[in-house]
Chains A and B, each alone.
Chain A
Amino acid sequence: MESIRLYFKYIKLNIESQLQYKASFIMMSVGHFLITFIEFLGIWVLFERFGNIRGFTFEEAALFYGIVHIAFAITEGWTRGFDIFPRLVRSGDFDRILLRPRTTVLQILGHDFQIMRIGRLFQGLVVLIWAVFKLNIRWTLGKTLLLIGSILGGNFLFSGLIVLQATLSFWSVQSLEIVNSFTYGGVQAAQYPISIYKPWFRKILIYIIPLATVNYFPALNILEKSQLFNYPIWLGWISPLIGLVFFIFSLLVWQLGVRYYTSTGS
């Protein structure tokens, strides 16, 4: 309980310090908004040309896009400490963290909290709201909760990927650009319904990096399309939980990594 209070104190300090440079914060947020907006234009262009992708309309694709990008924006915000973790190892700052009487996860999460990612979050939100208005979904309480759950599940899944990526730096202090492509590539891949991909790639997105479970299955339920693709309805209702399971799994791997850690000595 006390740890949680401490975490929020870390966050508060972080936010306050970032808000000291207000102009910079606003410009960076607007920048992030525009950058993701330009990326979204690319998707619009393709729908404008082809009309649909395997029976999914632009509005439906926008729902997938919104869920993934909001989830990823939250991840980018609160797991920034793990994202820059190789730097902490190289500089020896991780040794200091190990000395303190708190868990490593808490301290690294509290190390940095990027609020300017609000630009991406806001853009995802705009797209999601637009999609919701366009789609004529019959909203129920269950569906609303599923939407929120899907975003949270996605957030935990991406966070898990970032923790795993950080764990790798216990074995190699080289910056691991390749692993980065799993998170960013994952965002790219999951912003479309996975049914557009070939079966082998679909299997990767279901069983190995289970992005489909936090995005595709719940979104099909919200759109009431799961029968069309022969998936049982219950699957969509519980699948966002896989994101949480993945996150817990990645924390266990992390603990294992910490045990094997030897300092660089710098």
Chain B
Amino acid sequence: MKAFLSIIKIRFNLLLQYRIAAFAGAVTQFFFGTIMVMVLYGFYSSSGVETPINYKSAITYIWIGQAMLGMLPWNGDSEIQNLIRTGNVTYELIRPMNLYNYWFARAFALRTAPTLLRSIPLFIIALLLPKDYSMELPLNTLAFIGWIVATFGALLISCTITNIINITTLYSISGDGIQRLLSSIVTLFSGMIVPLPLFPDKLKQLLNYLPFSGLVDIPARFFTGEILINQLPKYFLFQCSWALVIYIIGQWILNRKIKDLIVQGG
């Protein structure tokens, strides 16, 4: 356990160095967030239908999704994927620790450090925007606490899915196609592109059971107060259960694959 904690610490400090990349990321996210918010503005102001979520909550939801994008499992660990492509992954097998947990620790750092750098400037900008575009702070501290806890749950799911992406590289060398497909499924079904409450009711019920809703939707709805704090144990348990299920699946596939791993020479 101590070894894994120090891996997280080392990787975390290393990833904090990439400030320019984080800045570029924040600008890009700001750009896309603005377009999404303007589109939502168009929809909300052109029809008077009853919506399950009001405009202010919807755009707050969008801004949270954009700010926390780095935490979503939209790509794998590029260093690990390169190791697999070059065959150097064999060195990883020599390490006297569980490979899956080692990758998991790396994923944990990968999903937290850049997000920390990106999200803070984006949150500040999103709060300061003109009234029609700006996000709102939670109504009370309890909602804020709910958001923090649910974000931690989201992080666990995200790390396990990141590991699945790493592992698929073992199967398809380039891993590019699966990765991009998975990332577009993640972004739509987590609620990052369109807030999940706006989905058609039947589809929404289905999506609420999938692990992706735990990534953006649940934390964002705690933030905006759609879910009340007394529901926190239920939702957090939901997130942890999915994280555990994907964790077990990942461990299992990886261990099976390692047994018959063929490394191309060179």
Contacts and interface: CB of A to CB of B under 8 A. Distances in A.
Nearest to B27: A178
Contacts of B40: 46
Contacts of B200: 45, 48-49
Which of under 10, 10 to 19, 20 to 34, or 35 or more describes the interface residues of B?
Answer: 35 or more
Given A31-B177, A50-B49, A188-B32, A42 B42 contact: no
Interface in A42-60: 42, 45-46, 48-55
A51 B38 contact: no
B193 interface: yes
B35 interface: yes
Contact of A49 (B21, B24, B38, B198): B198
Contact of B49 (A31, A51, A201): A51
- Secondary structure at chain B's binding surface: helix, strand, loop or mixed? helix
Contacts of B35: 185, 188-189
Interface stretch (A103-111, A131-139, A192-200, A235-243): A192-200
Interface in B188-209: 188, 193-194, 198-200, 203
A196 B193 contact: no
Contact of B27 (A27, A50, A54, A181): A181
A38 interface: yes
Contacts of A196: 38-39, 42-43, 46
Contacts, number: 94
B265 to A, nearest CB: 21
A181 B203 CA distance: 31
B199 A31 contact: no
Which of under 10, 10 to 19, 20 to 34, or 35 or more describes the interface residues of A?
Answer: 20 to 34
Interface string B34-67: 0110111111111101010000000000000000
A45 B180 contact: no
A180 B38 contact: no
Contacts of B181: 31, 34-35
B248 interface: no
Interface in B175-193: 176-178, 180-181, 184-185, 188, 193
Contacts of B178: 31
B32 A180 contact: no
Nearest to A48: B200
Nearest to A191: B39
B252 interface: no
A177 interface: yes
Contacts of B21: 177
Contact of B184 (A35, A49, A180, A188): A35
Contacts of A51: 47, 49
B98 interface: no
Contacts of A50: 43-44, 46-47, 49, 51
Contacts of B177: 27-28, 31
Nearest to B51: A49
A141 interface: no
B25 interface: yes
Interface of B: 20-21, 24-25, 27-28, 31-32, 35-36, 38-47, 49, 51, 132, 174, 176-178, 180-181, 184-185, 188, 193-194, 198-200, 203
22 contacts: A31-B177, A38-B185, A38-B188, A39-B188, A39-B193, A45-B194, A46-B40, A48-B200, A49-B51, A50-B47, A51-B49, A53-B39, A54-B45, A174-B20, A177-B21, A177-B24, A180-B28, A188-B32, A189-B35, A196-B38, A196-B46, A197-B42
Interface of A: 24, 27-28, 31, 34-35, 38-39, 41-42, 45-46, 48-55, 174, 177-178, 180-181, 184-185, 188-189, 192, 196-198, 201
- Name the 4 nearest CB pairs between A and B, nearest first: A196-B42, A31-B177, A42-B193, A181-B31
Given A42-B193, A177-B21, 19 more contacts: A28-B176, A34-B184, A38-B184, A39-B184, A39-B188, A42-B194, A49-B49, A49-B200, A50-B44, A50-B49, A51-B47, A53-B47, A177-B24, A178-B27, A181-B27, A181-B31, A192-B42, A196-B43, A197-B42
